[in-house]
Structure 1
C-alpha cells in the first residue's frame, strides 16, 4: 500500500462499481475491490459491512431528504403535493449522476439478491413517508396509499430518467409520472 490518500469511501465505491460492471457482482471479492481502490480489506470493512452495501450507501440519506421535504412542505398543501416537494428534493440528489446511476442500476437488475435489497430500501422509504404524512395529520389509509404512490412514481420516474435516449431533468420526469398517476385515477 502506498501513501495515505483521502476519500477512501469514495474510492472503494468507485472501484466496486467498476468491478461489478467488469466481472459481475457475484464474482467480485472484497479483496479485489480494496486492491483496485489502493486500500486494504480492513479499510473496506471500516466503511462497509459487506460488498452489497457499497451499492446502497446513500439510501438512508436519500430517504431522509425525501421525508424532510415532505415534512417541510406547507401545511396547507394536499398530501400528494407534499409528496411532489419530496420528489423534487430527491431529484436534486441525482443531478450530474446519471451515468453512475445507470451503472449501479445495471448491477442491481442483474442480481436477484440486489433486487431484493432494492425492494427493501423502497419499502423502508414508503414506511418513512407514510409516517411523515401521518405527522402532518393525514389519516390512514390515505397516508399509506399516498406514500406507496410516491414510491411508485419515484420508481417509474427514475427508470424513465435512466432509459431516456437523451438526458432529461429528473424532477420533470417525476412530475410527468405523477401527472400520469393523477390522470389514471381521475374520474371522467
Structure 2
C-alpha cells in the first residue's frame, strides 16, 4: 500500500487493536503494527511516539473539543449547561470509526495494568481541560472541578453505551447517549443533598 494514503493513522490504530487482541499488548511490537497496517516503522513514528500512545491518540483532540464546547456556551449558561455544550461538541465529532473501536479499545486496556493506568491519566486530563475551560468562564475552581468530573463521567458512560454491540439501544448518535447519561448523573447528584 502506498505510504501516503491519508488514513494511515486510523489503519495503525486498527492494526494495533487487532494485534493486541490476538497476541496481547506486551507481545506486540511497533514493527508488527506497521506491517499489519501496510506501512513502514517510520510512518508509525510520524504519527505516534510509541505503541502506548496509540490508545490515547484522540485525547488531545477530545480535550480540545470539550473545552471548545464549554467556551462557546452562551454567557448566561450555568456551569452544568456549559459542560453539556462541551459534551455535545465532543460527541458530535465522533464517527462510526470511533464507535467500532470502543469494545476493542476497552478490551485492550482492561487486559493490561500499564494501559489501565494510562487510561486513568487520560480521564484526569480530560477533566482538567474541562475544568480549565469552566474557570476561564469565571466558575470557581471547586465548582469547575465537580462539573468537569461529572462531564467526563457522562462522556464515558455515554460512549460505553453507544459502542457496546450487545446493547439494543446503542444505535444512533453518541450525543443522544451522552445527553442521557449526563441527565441521569445530574439527577443522581441531586439525590445526594
TM-score, normalising length: structure 1: 0.90
Q: Distance in 1 between matches of 2:10 and 2:183?
A: 36
C-alpha distance in 1 between matches for 2:63 and 2:179: 18
Secondary structure at the aligned position of 1:75 is classed as coil
Structure 2: which 5+ runs fail to align?
Answer: none
Q: CA deviation at 1:183?
A: 1.6
Quick one: distance in 1 between partners of 2:107 and 2:25? 10
- Aligned equivalents of 2:19, 2:162: Cα separation in 1: 24
Distance 2:190 2:58 in 1: 35
1:133 aligns with 2:126: no
The aligned residue for residue 42 of structure 1 is: 42
Deviation at 1:184, TM superposition (A): 1.9
Matched, 1:184 2:185: no
Q: Which moved more, 1:19-28 or 1:124-133?
A: 19-28
The 5-angstrom pairing of residues 13-32 of structure 1 reads: 13-32=13-32
Which segment is superposed worse, 67-76 or 173-182? 173-182
What stretches of structure 1 of length at least 5 have no aligned partner? none
**SS of alignment partner, residue 61 of structure 1:** helix
Q: How far off is 1:42 after superposition?
A: 2.8
After superposing on structure 2, the runs of 4+ consecutive aligned residues of structure 1 that deviate more than 3 Å are 2-5
TM-score normalised to structure 2 length: 0.88
Displacement of 1:83 after TM fit?
0.6
Shift of 1:39: 2.6
- Computed over aligned residues only, the root mean square deviation of the Cα atoms, in angstroms, reads 1.9
Aligned residues: 187
